[in-house]
Amino acid sequence: MLTITLRDDGYGVPSGPLPKSIVGIRIRDQVLLHPIEVAYLSLTNEARIMKDGKELSFKDVLAHITSALEKSCREKEKGCRTLRTFWSLLTVYYDLRKKNRKVVPEARREGTLVEIRRNSWWSEYLVLEEGLKVKVDDLLYWADDVRANDMKSIVAVVDRNSGVTYYELTPVEFREVNKQMGEAPSFQVSS
């Protein structure tokens, strides 16, 4: 079983080789696991999470990670969105991993997950909670940026019962009605 040492910042340091389903973050000569990944591995009992020589329960892992994120948000203004949407990120991450997807938490920006297929980034998931208001311009900007990087843009909405609904955003082209011919408006979806 994989053993992970939990750092003070909420990231995990694995000992030994990682399974193919886990994507670590390489920083210099060390591989780190994102706090969402650490929480997932603790929840599914796929790894032993250690801190100061003691094995932590899932509840203890969550307490440590949220405390680390709170501190980072307060002191460095980093991890604030992750802290606010932690449960939703973990819910979507869990759902995708359950479907045997290879997922990297927040590889490009906070509040997103990146799916990897055939050793390349395939899609980016923007994780939102039901009832959260998002400006259309912000959503379109995000989707355009994702498409500019040759990925699919998918919004994952987590409802109050922890159900996840996925919406793929695709470009739409609206054309004016041809009034002379009396045609109905046509909508073109381009990829």
pTM of the model: 0.86
What pLDDT is recorded for position 26? 86
* Dist. CA 3–CA 1, nearest whole Å: 6
Q: Which bin fits 64, alpha (ψ -120 to 50), beta or left (φ > 0)?
A: alpha
Whole-angstrom Cα Rg for the chain: 20
Pair of tokens at residue 123:
């899609």
Residue 150 has pLDDT above 70, yes or no: yes
Q: pLDDT (tens digit, 9 = 90+) per residue, 29-88?
A: 889 999 999 999 999 999 999 999 999 999 999 999 999 999 999 999 888 888 999 999
The Cα–Cα gap between 150 and 147 comes to 5
pLDDT at residue 191 above 50?
no
Q: Above 70 in pLDDT, residue 183?
A: no
Confidence at residue 118, expressed as pLDDT on a 0 to 100 scale: 83
Same structural domain, 188 and 109: yes
Please report where in the chains the tokens 């991890």 appear, as a residue: 79
Give the end of a domain, one of 67, 83, 99. Answer: 83
Among the candidates 83, 109, 126, a domain finishes at: 83
Both 110 and 121 in a single domain? yes
Between 181 and 171, whose confidence is greater? 171
Q: How far is CA 39 from CA 80, 89, 120, in A?
A: 17, 11, 24
As given in the structure block, the two tokens for residue 127 are: 């994780």
Q: What is the pLDDT of residues 51-65, one digit of tens each?
A: 999 999 999 999 999
Q: Which domain holds residue 176?
A: 85-191
Name which of 5-14, 66-75, 160-169, 171-180 the model is least confident about.
171-180
CATH number reported for the structural domain that contains residue 156 in this entry:
3.40.1350.10
99 vs 28: CA distance, rounded Å:
32
Mean pLDDT score, 125-142: 92
Residues 106, 77, single domain; the answer is no
Which of 59, 83, 107 is a domain's end point?
83
